[in-house]
A and B are shown apart, each in its own frame.
Chain A
Amino acid sequence: GENVEQHPSTLSVQEGDSAVIKCTYSDSASNYFPWYKQELGKRPQLIIDIRSNVGEKKDQRIAVTLNKTAKHFSLHITETQPEDSAVYFCAASINNFNKFYFGSGTKLNVKP
């Protein structure tokens, strides 16, 4: 099956700085890469996603880049705010987007 690795496990940044979280995947058949944000005690919420036919996607302060050759993808958050503090999970999906394999998570702490 697919193996998704994510790092760093924890990330602490100052408010206003940028944060970057990186993931690698093993199965070249993976074709859909969502990112989820999970606040303490809450369910994971999709924040951005990218398909394998796109190299970069941006949504306001967040962006995701994908390098299919290297099999890695990254989440970029600019102008971080304290409310960005949460655990972020990357995931990879094969077989037409349905079964997701999650990374180990990154706990982001944005210090005011």
Chain B
Amino acid sequence: SAVISQKPSRDICQRGTSLTIQCQVDSQVTMMFWYRQQPGQSLTLIATANQGSEATYESGFVIDKFPISRPNLTFSTLTVSNMSPEDSSIYLCSGYLAGGPKVETQYFGPGTRLLVL
């Protein structure tokens, strides 16, 4: 299995500022992803973090707003830029690990709870 940690666990930010969330995996996962989860809602995929190249964004999410880096196989960052209250959410990273206990699956980080005032 893979153990995934995120920093910070939570933050309160002022509108117009940016926050960078870090995701660290203890295994060399094949893929890393970033999701957003509004309270009481499902998980929405923001983007796939590609090692050494630009992330692949889902419809409705753009690089200028959510720049993502993945310098190596075990680390990724997501920046929420020029924040507004609508960005208040839980942001989760995940790692897809082939050959895990469930053969191939995604493991999730604990999430970063963001509140924008």
Which residues of A approach B to under 8 Å, CB–CB? Answer: 1, 32, 34, 42-46, 49, 89, 97-105
Interface size on B, residues (CB 8 A): 24
> Are A42's CB and B110's CB within 8 A?
yes
> Are B42's CB and A98's CB within 8 A?
no
Interface centre among A89, A99, A104, by most chain B C-beta atoms within 10 angstroms, is A99
9 interchain residue pairs of minimum CB distance: A43-B108, A102-B43, A97-B104, A98-B31, A104-B42, A102-B42, A98-B96, A105-B42, A44-B108
Given known A-B contacts A97-B104, A99-B48, A100-B45, A43 and B31 have beta carbons under 8 A apart: no
> Are B43's CB and A44's CB within 8 A?
yes
Specify the main secondary structure of chain B where it touches its partner. strand
CB distance from A51 to the nearest CB of B (A): 8
CB distance from A50 to the nearest CB of B (A): 10
The docked-state distance in angstroms from the alpha carbon of A81 to that of B1 is 26
Interface residues of B in 54-79 (CB under 8 A from A): 58-59
> Are A103's CB and B42's CB within 8 A?
yes
The docked-state distance in angstroms from the alpha carbon of A46 to that of B59 is 26
- Identify B59's interface contact among A1, A99, A103, A105, CB under 8 A: A1
> Are B96's CB and A97's CB within 8 A?
yes
Q: Which residues of A contact B107 (CB under 8 A)?
A: 46
